[in-house]
Amino acid sequence: MDLEYLLSMDPAAILLVPVVVVVTAAVIFLHSLVLKFLSTATVRNKVVVITDALTGLGKECAKLFHEGGARVILCGKTWGKLEGFADNLTSAADPKLTFPPKLVLVDFGDMNSMPDVIAETLECYGCVDVLILNSNLKVKAPVQSTSLKMDKLVMDNNYFGPITLAKGFLPSMMSRRTGHVILVNSIQGKLAMPFRATYAASKHAVQAFFDCLRAEVQEYGISVSTVNHTFIISPPPGEKTKKSIWSIFSKQKVMGITPVEAANEILKILNSKKREVVMAHSLPKMAIYARSLFPNVFFAVMAAGVNNAAGVNNIAALADSEEL
């Protein structure tokens, strides 16, 4: 019956379906290109500070902003690696359209060095237009096995370090009545998992801080955005990300996001001024809603997962993934 129906249809109507699909894909693709162009134009000549610039996401952000003509300040713990990465950025870009990256050593494990870090960063260009806080120290262990020393180290890296930098640059942004602070946080700033108590606590704390800060600095023309993502996956060495019209329909990854996707989203945020972005598959997003709407059910599921050996293994495997 279906075959007879198809045979009876007008050939023009049959051809219309793939045409509509192709046109729709082309429109979405062109729209994404336009947004990327506008976002890139937004960062030209802007002073952009990127913390943890040697991570996968940090490097992708640095590439995007550097190629877009931003005055990039790269922050990291190892001077030699920062120099090598900066040399690669410089050699891969047109020197007439880009600025040589500035380098600043930043170790959130040494909070006593933060005043010097802030002063050195401001000396680079005299101001900061965009602050991308990409700090992430993970720990996976039961609560009773996690020392207070480890608790403090995680809080220094994931909470006190980022807020100290933000406070240090705020006076300059407020006096100029412009600026954008982007916190690259974790999905666990919204959703806590077993065996991640210290990590989740640091991510919840820093999320709350910047949610409050957003309201306080709005009158000064300063934007505050948070990006809550699931873990970041990196493609195997040598594997190139396919870029085509059809890739638009399969962009979302079931088990995570790539550094390129996250960096592009951050670039778009600078243009859209979006306050909060959750980069996650539908299942983690549903868990966030379940935590708010059906807390007792959510807690029961979490407890069942801990009591189940397979659940524990799944949690451990997920926790071991990069940038959870």
Residue 225 placed within a domain: yes
Asked whether residue 309 is domain-assigned, the answer is no
Whether this model's pTM surpasses 0.85:
no
Q: What tokens appear for 51 in the block?
A: 């913390």
Beta carbons of 108 and 160 less than 8 angstroms apart: yes
Structure tokens given for 257: 């996001």
Q: Check residue 257 and give its pLDDT.
A: 83
Confidence (pLDDT) at 140: 86
Which residue segment(s) compose the domain that 160 sits in?
Answer: 42-233+254-282
- pLDDT band (50, 70, 90) for residue 40: low
Measured on CA atoms in the order 272, 274, 279, 281, is the torsion positive or negative?
negative
pLDDT given for residue 153 in this prediction: 94
- Residue 12 carries which side chain, given as an amino acid letter? A
Is 159 designated active site? no
Residue at 29 is within a domain:
no
Indicate the DSSP class of residue 196. Answer: -
User: For residue range 164-222, what is the model confidence (pLDDT) as tens digits?
Assistant: 999 999 999 999 999 999 999 998 888 888 888 999 999 999 999 999 999 999 999 99
For residue 36, is pLDDT > 60? no
The answer to the question of residue 223 being in a domain is: yes
177 falls within a domain: yes
Of the listed ranges 34-48, 114-128, 166-180, 241-255, the one predicted with least confidence:
241-255
| 123 assigned to some structural domain | yes
With cut-offs at 50, 70 and 90, classify the pLDDT of residue 317. very low
Residue-averaged pLDDT of the chain: 82
Assigned domain for 32 exists: no
CATH number for position 137: 3.40.50.720
The pLDDT of residue 322 is 40
pLDDT tens digits, 236-261: 544 454 444 433 333 444 467 889 99
pLDDT band at 2 (very low <50, low <70, confident <90, very high): low
* Marked catalytic residue, from 5, 125, 159, 199: 199
For residue 304, the model assigns a pLDDT of 78
User: E strands of the chain, at which residues?
Assistant: 47-50, 71-76, 102-105, 130-133, 179-186, 222-229, 276-279
Cβ-count burial 187-218 (b if 16+ within 10 Å, e if not)? bbbbbbbbbbbbbbbbbbebbebbeebbeebe
Asked whether the predicted pLDDT for residue 19 surpasses 70, the reply is no
Domain count, the chain: 1
